[in-house]
Amino acid sequence: EVQLVESGGGLVQAGGSLRLSCAASGFTFDDYAIGWFRQAPGKEREGVSCISSSDGRTYYADSVKGRFTISSDNAKNTVYLQMSSLKPDDTAVYSCAADLRGCDPIVVVSTTPGYWGQGTQVTVSS
């Protein structure tokens, strides 16, 4: 059974940092792209970041470039999203997703990733 379990969300002041973790199980980690999308109330889903576990290539949305860093620990089957210089606009539910086809199904709004987790709430206060 495929499982993606997110952790690390919470409440932080603007300018602060959080690190999200996504623990994956039930599939061959190295074969998949794994990333994050977020959704705030009343807003469209946004692909935030993605990493290809096989070659380490990464993707970042323009809104988070220079502030967020995605990394992968293949030995632990875990992907991390280090978020710094957080802004109130970053407030959303962040969900981890995985797809055998690569990052596009995770970061492109019009597509649906193969698997995703329950999400973790990130709230940034001003």
**The pLDDT value given to residue 91:** 98
Q: β-strand 68-73 against 10-13: which pairing, if any?
A: unpaired
Note the pLDDT of residue 110: 81
How confident is the model over 49-108, as pLDDT tens digits?
Answer: 999 877 889 999 999 999 999 999 999 999 999 999 999 999 999 999 999 999 999 998
C-alpha 9, offset from chain centre: 11
Specify burial of residue 36 (Cβ count, 10 A radius: 0-12, 13-18, 19+): buried
pLDDT tens for 21-52 read 999 999 998 899 999 999 999 999 999 999 98
| pLDDT of amino acid 54 | 75
Task: Give the confidence band of 109 by pLDDT, cuts at 50, 70, 90.
Answer: confident
Q: How confident is the model at residue 111 (pLDDT cuts 50, 70, 90)?
A: confident
Residues in the chain: 126
pLDDT of amino acid 56: 83
pLDDT at 4 > cutoff 80? yes
